Chain A
Amino acid sequence: MTTFLDNILGGLALGAVYALVALGFVVIFKASGVLNFAHGSLLLFGGYLTAVFHDDLGFAGALALAVLATAALAGALDRFLLQRGGQDAHSAHVQTIVTIGIDIVLLTDLARRIGGDLLSLGDPWGDSVTELGPLTVADSRLAAIVVSAVVIGGVFALFRFTSWGLSLRAAAEDLEAAALMGVRLGRVRAGAWCLAGALAALAAVFLSAFPAPGLERTTGQIALNAFPAAILGGLASPAGALAGSLIIGLTEALVVGYQSELHILGEGFGDVAPYAVMLLVLLVRPTGLFGAKGTARV
């Protein structure tokens, strides 16, 4: 029973971090129709900055700098590269492939800088643990759950209560009508990219905190597991991304936790379990759990 609860808690923590990343995908997709393949590198960029500056600025200062810088980078990529491609649905496809090119360049550079090192981000939790009844939980996991919940709540409030959120929802509903109502699409888009970048930089902290060994050049690839999470929920739905992330996080944690019973699936199946779940869901619902079934207008 303790193992089970342990796995559930681990899954929740993992899901909370995935949610930060998946929410970034969704925000970008809602605002621009682009699936951002460069998200993993943005995450790595944020993590790398935190790792480099935490000695001089302290953890909080370095994190703040990393979040701002990653947000600025994401916003600039959108404003100065992607938005040259136009706003309609076809160019969104092209821009999706452009993000793959951006990812190759960014990832190559960061991987070259990091090399084979394991970078510490200097987070305050270290390897300390807390006793919760029968469970022993790493503080970093609790922090991941709490911080993610607060931040995600904040993002949902942004959507709901600010004029930017209203513009974003209007633009996602109907680009042309929104533009005619005076929504500045370029700004709303760039804002969404900034937000997603900031979330990615934050997620990097928890992905490289204990029990993970630290920031490696492959840390960005873990963000790829948030793809299934975002797709699972339906790319255009923030609530779906949240649900998808929790499903993916729990699946991964449970598969890893009960690996000995699941040996028929092969060693290391936990790494690919999110994709198996996603394929199953896509078979039944091709646009995800919460995705609206699009109707085509002739």
Chain B
Amino acid sequence: MSDRLLGALTRRRAWLLLLAVVLCLPPFYLDAFWLRIGLFSMAAAIGAVGLALLSGTAGQLSLGHAFFLAVGAYGYAWFAGEPGPGLPPALAAVLAVLLAGTAGGLFSPVAARVKGIYLGIATLALVFLGHHVLLTADSVTGGFNGRSVPPLTLGGFTFAETDPELTVLGVPFGAEERLWFLGLALFAFTWFTARGLLRSRPGRALAALRDSETAAAVMGVDVARHRSAAFVVSSMYAGLAGVLLALAFRRVVPDYFSLVLSVDYLAMIVIGGLGSVAGATAGAVFVTALPLLMTRYADQLPLVAAPGSSEGAVGPTEAARYLYGAAIVLVLLYAPDGLHGLARRARDRVRRSRTPATGTDVPPPPQPSADARPKEHTP
């Protein structure tokens, strides 16, 4: 038995290693268009994981994610740039993430007390008020036209076209190639920390909170503290995503961080399956890549007109929005656990067909709520 377990673990490691190698390949083979899609997807995935922690695990509906992304993006641009303190960019990035966390913390008097749908609308207020501040605080945010984002430098290495010139294996490394690896590193960091968090004591407490607030409170979970902590952590992931987005865009403008962006993030975690890190990632890739791909291949798709063609035709952006609006509805009504659940069910079916007589020797996935409760005895 232990041999088999060990075997499964090594196999898991091997898969992970293979995946890591595969993810390192694109900069050598794909052009900037695909790398940008990947970059935006990674940034979106980091933000979506943060939202998944909050909405999927803690059961809090948040429509304010765009606001915290904006805090991260503008925070980095301000800390690292002119006008602003002009700090070293790496330090500025860390400070921007902390700033987003602080913003989440400042909102916690509301986040801890208001719940469910009320919190959704309260966070809606953040997006609108934040957008207003971005437009009016010219000296810090650059107003309507936004401000440019200085590139990130780490110990003399700049994540931009030059400085130093770099050619790896015959491939010239420009900004996209360099940022790809930065995004990959940040995403790996997000993936492992978020999964660790979900399986830790606070993660289980949050799951208990989602399933029944009363039961969790009786078991000794400090409801208000865990709620606001979930909000702070989620905002920090959003801030990190904001920094990466700012680096990828090289310019931040207020209109990007609107309610539409918040809804996009909600769509990501819903389509991916609530409360799962892998699902949030899949959802993020789907929602981010779909409109970009449809724009690129508009002339080859049936029913879709090229952008800027005659009035009233279905353009690629619109077609993408139809698709993912419909995806939200269909996923929630017919597959409530999203892409994550669909993948799991497919995997189970394959396993069952392989070992028909003995059934599965894999224990069923642990129910977070069920084993969180006995562990919450200590006050």
Contact = CB atoms under 8 A, between A and B. Distances in A.
Given A96-B61, A276-B125, A296-B214, A268 B132 contact: yes
B117 A235 contact: yes
Interface string B306-329: 000001101100100110111111
B118 A100 contact: no
B172 to A, nearest CB: 40
B296 interface: no
Interface residues of A, number: 43
Interface residues on B, range: 35 or more
Interface in B324-374: 324-329, 332-333, 336
A85 B332 CA distance: 8
A101 B329 contact: yes
Contacts of A272: 128-129, 131-132
Given A81-B333, A85-B333, A105-B322, A278 B121 contact: yes
Nearest to B117: A35
A interface, over-half SS = helix
A106 B225 CA distance: 39
Nearest to A35: B117
B116 interface: yes
Interface stretch (A60-68, A159-167, A246-254, A281-289): A281-289
Contacts of B336: 94
Interface string B269-298: 010000000000000000000000000000
B61 A276 contact: no
Interface stretch (B74-82, B106-114, B154-162, B163-171): B106-114
Contacts of A275: 124-125, 128-129
A93 B263 CA distance: 15
A269 B137 CA distance: 12
B94 interface: no
Contacts of A55: none
Contacts of A228: 121, 125
Contacts of B214: 296, 298
A21 interface: no
A97 interface: yes
A93 B125 contact: no
Interface in A76-96: 81, 84-85, 93-96
A35 B329 CA distance: 15
A286 B111 CA distance: 10
B314 to A, nearest CB: 7
B103 to A, nearest CB: 14
B126 to A, nearest CB: 8
A96 B59 CA distance: 13
B interface, over-half SS = helix
B314 A101 contact: no
Nearest to A279: B125
B328 A98 contact: yes
Contacts of B95: none
A192 B328 CA distance: 24
A139 B332 CA distance: 45
Contacts of A267: 136
B341 to A, nearest CB: 13
Contacts of A235: 117-118
B110 to A, nearest CB: 6
A113 B132 CA distance: 29
A278 B332 CA distance: 30
B213 to A, nearest CB: 7
A101 B326 contact: yes
B87 interface: no
Contacts of A35: 117, 120-121
Contacts of A94: 332, 336
Contacts of B314: 112
A231 interface: yes
A272 B259 CA distance: 13
A279 B332 contact: no
B122 interface: yes
A278 B122 contact: yes
Given A115-B311, A287-B118, A98 B129 contact: no
Contacts of A57: none
A109 interface: yes
A133 interface: no
B97 interface: no
Contacts of B115: 286
Given A231-B121, A275-B128, A276-B125, A108 B332 contact: no
A112 B332 contact: no
Interface of B: 61, 109-110, 113-118, 120-122, 124-125, 128-129, 131-133, 135-137, 213-215, 218, 259, 263, 266-267, 270, 311-312, 314-315, 318, 321-322, 324-329, 332-333, 336
Interface of A: 35, 81, 84-85, 93-98, 100-105, 108-109, 112-113, 115, 224, 227-228, 231, 235, 266-269, 271-272, 275-276, 278-279, 282-283, 286-288, 296, 298
- Ranked nearest first, the 4 interchain pairs of A and B with the lowest CB-CB distance are A101-B328, A266-B136, A104-B325, A275-B125
Given A108-B321, A112-B314, 14 more contacts: A81-B329, A81-B333, A84-B333, A98-B329, A98-B332, A101-B326, A101-B327, A105-B322, A108-B322, A224-B259, A231-B118, A272-B131, A279-B125, A286-B115
26 contacts: A35-B117, A81-B329, A85-B333, A97-B61, A97-B270, A97-B328, A98-B333, A101-B325, A103-B325, A104-B263, A104-B328, A105-B322, A105-B325, A108-B325, A112-B315, A231-B118, A266-B132, A266-B133, A266-B136, A271-B132, A275-B124, A275-B128, A276-B125, A278-B122, A283-B109, A286-B118
